[in-house]
Each structure stands twice: as structure tokens, then as C-alpha cells.
Amino acid sequence: MVQGKYFHIFLILLIVLGSKGWSQFTEVNVDLDIRRISEADRHLFESIEEDIKQYYLNTQFSPDVSDLEMTIDIRLILESVLRSGNQTTLNAQAILTNRMDQYFYAKGIQFPYSKRKKIIYTPSYESMASFLDYYAFMFIATELDTYKYMSGTSFFNRAIEMADFGKDSDWSKGWDDRWKKARKIKNNQYLRSMRFNFFMAIYALSGETIDKNLLITSMNTLYEDLISIDKKLGSNKETLKFLDAYHVKIAELMAALNMKEGLNLLVYYDHDHKKVYESYLKN
């Protein structure tokens, strides 16, 4: 009897601990802003922060990429609650970020909401879960691009497909913007290449011996990609966000490789960090 008792405890622990490895997200922070919601309606949202957090922590968005260990911060701003018959509709905005180079502002969020209804992952469209899935796919896609050249494409496609479902649903508000955003980021091959080559340069420095050939090739390709972005896209918000996160390391690597043309381009392109680039040019 004792052995059976401890076996069940062990089995429960195994399930709980095993589930930690299922998700692509290992740290999720949800901040709820309900200042615009009436006191009478605030009780409806007592569990929404924890529900969203647990959804991201416990959902396996793909069994093939379960070791990403990503962090996501979500600020959900509730704007209004509408009632029609037995249905309650939530209108909101959200900011989602990985604390580094990924930052998404979502407006026009609208879905039916019930305090008692849990968020469940499903391959079919479900307004609230699909909204969360879309951003999960976007974060995963961008993360995968750092491991292998353009390897996030399938997840960008899943985000686009999800947005297509959203546009055709009864809760279509905001989904056209999300569809455009996913396509825009997916099709910016130069930024995706920049991101990959930056992390390849970091990888080249990580061994006991620096892989100088990989370092030089990666940084030269990053520079060429930035030239293409400047010529073809001009001031690009996603590129500037990437530079905001990694500009110091990029400048350091370019200076070490005597890439003055690259630093001069960054001075011109990324005005917010002009002084940083200029300081490396002077050294």
C-alpha cells in the first residue's frame, strides 16, 4: 500500500515536471490594466492573468521546438465590456515583448469572454486562444531564425494562416493588421538574415578558440543586409528595434574587425545610438 501511495505521488510529479518541457515559453509575466473597466465588471477578470500565463507555460505549440525557453511579457489593457444577451464581449489592447528585440502592439482585440471558461489550445479558430497562438507563433518564428537561416518561416506561415482565420471570423477586428504584420516581418529577408548572422557571430566567439572566418563572414553579411534595408526599406521599425537591443555588441564586433563603413552606416541609420557608434569609430 505504501509503495502504491508513493508511486502515485511520483507519477504526479513526473507529469508536472514533464509538462514544463512541453512549452516553448518558460517565463511568462502578465500585467492587467483594468482602470477603464467599471468596478461592477472587474470581478470578471480575476483569473485572466493566470489563465493567460498558464496557457503559454503549458501549451506545446510544436513538439519539434520544445527547448527554446523563451520569456514573454504581456501587458493587457482592457478597454470595455459589452453585453448582448448571455454573451460578454471584451475589447482590449496589448503589448507583448521578449524584453529584447521583439515588441508587438496589438490594438483592436475583441473576443467573447467568460470568467469560468479555460483557454484551451485547438487547431481550429477560437478567438481568445487564437489571438494568443498568433503571438506565440511570431515569437517562436523570430527565435528560430537565430538558430538556422530562415528556419522560422513555417511559424510565420502559421501566424499568417491564423490571421486569415481571424479575418474571416465573427470577431475579425484587428486581424487584418496582424495579417499584414506577420507578412511584413516574414518578407523582410534582410532583417531575418541580419538576426541570424548576428547570432552566428556570437556563436563564433563562444568556443575555446574564436572561429574568425565565421565571425568575419557573419558580420560582413550583416553589414550587407543593413545596406539592403537602408536602400530598399529605409527606416524600418523592426530593424531599429533589433539594433536597440544589440547595438553595443554589434558596434563592438564591427570595431574589432575594423568595419568602419559599417559603423558609419549605423551612425546614419540608427540615430538613437549615434553616440555609441561614434565612440567606437574614435577608438
The string of pLDDT tens digits covering residues 158-203 is: 999 999 999 999 999 999 999 999 999 999 999 999 999 999 999 9
What was the pLDDT predicted at 2?
A: 41
Q: Are residues 94 and 211 in the same domain?
A: no
73 located within any domain: yes
- 112 φ, ψ (degrees, to nearest 5): -70, 140
Q: What is the CA 239 to chain-centroid distance, rounded?
A: 14
In a domain, 258, yes or no: yes
Q: Which residues have C-beta within 8 Å of that of residue 30, sequence separation ≥ 6?
A: 48, 49, 50, 52, 53, 74, 75, 76
Q: Which three cell numbers stand for residue 153?
A: 518561416
Q: What is the CA radius of gyration of the chain?
A: 22
What pLDDT shows up at residue 64?
Answer: 84
The mean pLDDT value for 131-157 works out to 97
Q: What is the mean pLDDT of residues 54-75?
A: 91
What integer pLDDT is reported at residue 163 of this predicted model? Answer: 97
On whether both 12 and 117 belong to a single domain, the answer is yes
Distance of alpha carbon 274 from alpha carbon 251, whole angstroms = 11
Work out whether strand 25-33 and strand 70-84 pair parallel, antiparallel, or are unpaired: parallel
Q: Is residue 35 in some structural domain?
A: yes
Residue where a domain stops, chosen among 133, 149, 180: 133
Q: What local confidence, expressed as pLDDT, does residue 87 receive? A: 87
Write the single-letter amino acid at 120.
I
The cell for 8 is 502515485
Q: Are 98 and 194 part of one and the same domain? A: no
109, 6: one domain: yes
Give the lowest-confidence range in 12-16, 81-85, 188-192, 254-258: 12-16
Asked whether residue 209 is assigned to any structural domain, the reply reads yes
Kindly indicate the confidence band of residue 67, based on its pLDDT and cuts at 50, 70 and 90. Answer: confident
Measured CA to CA, the distance from residue 197 to residue 215 in angstroms comes to 9
| pLDDT reported for residue 236 | 96
Check whether 76 has a pLDDT greater than 90.
Answer: yes
Q: Does 54 map to a domain?
A: yes
Q: Which helix (H) or strand (E) holds 7?
A: helix 2-19
Cell of 83: 453585453
Question: Nearest 5 degrees, angle CA 259-CA 262-CA 265?
Answer: 150
Q: What integer pLDDT is reported at residue 63 of this predicted model?
A: 84
Q: pLDDT band for position 22 (50/70/90)?
A: low
Within this chain, do residues 123 and 212 fall inside the same structural domain, yes or no? no
Indicate whether 113 and 195 sit together in one domain. no
Burial of 140 (0-12, 13-18, 19+ CB in 10 A): buried
pLDDT for 17 equals 36
Does residue 196 sit in the same domain as residue 115?
Answer: no
Q: How confident is the model at residue 123 (pLDDT cuts 50, 70, 90)?
A: confident
Domain of residue 61: give its range: 2-133
- The total of structural domains in the chain comes to 2
* Residue 124 reports pLDDT greater than 60: yes
If asked whether residues 88 and 9 sit together in one domain, one would say yes
Are 113 and 15 found together in one domain? yes
Chain-centroid distance of CA 168 in Å reads 24
CA-CA distances (angstroms) from residue 126 to 80, 83, 243? 20, 19, 35
Which of 157, 110, 102 has its CA nearest to residue 134?
157
AA letter at 85? G
**Domain shared by 10 and 128, yes or no:** yes
Q: Kindly state whether residues 123 and 17 are assigned to the same domain.
A: yes
Per-residue pLDDT for 125 more than 50? yes
Are 202 and 128 within one domain? no
* DSSP letter assigned to residue 21: T
Checking DSSP bridges between strand 103-112 and strand 70-84, what pairing results, if any? unpaired
Residue 23 is predicted with a pLDDT of 73
Q: Is residue 126 part of a domain?
A: yes
Question: Is the predicted pLDDT of residue 47 greater than 80, yes or no?
Answer: yes
What rounded mean pLDDT belongs to the chain?
91
* Inter-axis angle of helices 189-204 and 212-232, nearest 10: 160
The percentage of residues in the chain with a pLDDT greater than 90, rounded to a whole number, is 83
For residue 145, pLDDT over 60 is answered with: yes
Confidence band (pLDDT; 50, 70, 90) for 283? confident
Assigned domain for 121 exists = yes
Domain edge (last residue) among 84, 102, 133: 133
**Above 50 in pLDDT, residue 18?**
no
Is 166 a domain residue? no
